[in-house]
Structure 1
Amino acid sequence: METNKIKFLETYLSFYINHTVIMDNFYTPDSKYVVLDVRNAPAQIKKDQIKGAVALPAKDLKKHVKQLNKNKIYVVYDWTAGTTLGKEALLVLLSAGFESYELSCALEGWKGMNLPVEGIK
C-alpha cells in the first residue's frame, strides 16, 4: 500500500515546478523557461503578474499552442495552487507534446515570497 502512495505522490509532484528551479535562469536572455499567466481575467482585474510572464489565458491556449516554441519549457500559473486553470493549461501543453509544469506556488505564493512582479497595462 505504501508503494502505491509513493508512486501517486511522485506522479502528482511531477506536474509541478518550484520557483527556485526557474529563478536560476528565468531572467537571463537565453532562459529555457517561459512563464505563462493563464488567468482568464482582464488586465484591470489581474493588475499584476510575475515579472516577465507572458499573458495567455487558458481559454485561448488551444488556439495559440502551434505558435509556441517546442524548445522551451513552459511554466503555467493561476491565482492560487488550488484553482484549475493552471491544470487545464498544463493538460493542453502536455497533450501537444510540450515540456511543461504548473508553478507550485502559483501567483499567490510567488507574491508571498516577495519574488518579482510587474504591473499590467
Structure 2
Amino acid sequence: MSKMDYFKAKLEATISPMDFMQAAKAEPDKFLVVDVRNAPPHIMKEKIAGATHIPLMNLSDRLAELPKDKTIVVYCWETWCNMAAHAAVILLENGYDVLELSGGIAAWKAVGFNVEAIG
C-alpha cells in the first residue's frame, strides 16, 4: 500500500471530533456513537454524551442492538488504543457502516465536547 492509499483509506475510515459534530449537526439522525471501551467501573466513569456503551468484549453478542440504517461511530480511550479499530472490523464484517472517532474520548474531551457519567 502506498502512502497515498494509506492516508486516503484512513480519512475514509475515521472522523475527527470536530468533523463529527459538524456532520451530526447537519444530519442528526444519521449517526449512532458507540463506546467500545472495556474497563472496570472505577476506571471508566464517563462517556461521550448520548453514546451507547457496548464493550468490545460483548460487541459480537449485542449486534442486534445496533441499527444498520445509521453510521456507527466507534471510539475507545485515545490514539494508542485499538479497541475501536477492532470493533470497526466486527461491524464491517456484519454489514454496518462504521467510522472510528479519531483520538477517542481523550480528543473529544480535549476540544471541550460534552461527556456524561456512566451508571
Residues matched between the structures, number: 119
Report the CA distance between 1:25 and its aligned residue: 5.8
TM-score by length of 2: 0.89
TM-score by length of 1: 0.87
Q: How does 1:21-100 map to 2 (within 5 A)?
A: 21-24=19-22, 26=24, 30-100=28-98
Q: Give the Cα separation in 2 of the matches to 1:10 and 1:40.
A: 29
Between structure 1 and structure 2, the one with the greater Rg is 1
Q: Is the 8 A contact 1:50 1:117 kept in 2?
A: yes
Per-residue CA shift, 1:58-107, capped at 9, x if unaligned? Answer: 01111111332110110000011221111110100111111101101211
CA RMSD of aligned residues (A): 2.1
Report the CA distance between 1:26 and its aligned residue: 3.8
Q: How does 1:95-114 map to 2 (within 5 A)?
A: 95-114=93-112
Report the CA distance between 1:8 and its aligned residue: 1.8
Q: Is the 8 A contact 2:17 2:107 kept in 1?
A: no
Q: Give the Cα separation in 2 of the matches to 1:20 and 1:95.
A: 27
Once the two structures are aligned, what percentage of the paired residues are identical? 32
Q: Give the Cα separation in 2 of the matches to 1:14 and 1:25.
A: 14
Following TM superposition, the consecutive aligned residue runs of length 4 or more in structure 1 with deviations greater than 6 angstroms are: none
Q: SS of the residue aligned with 1:79? A: coil
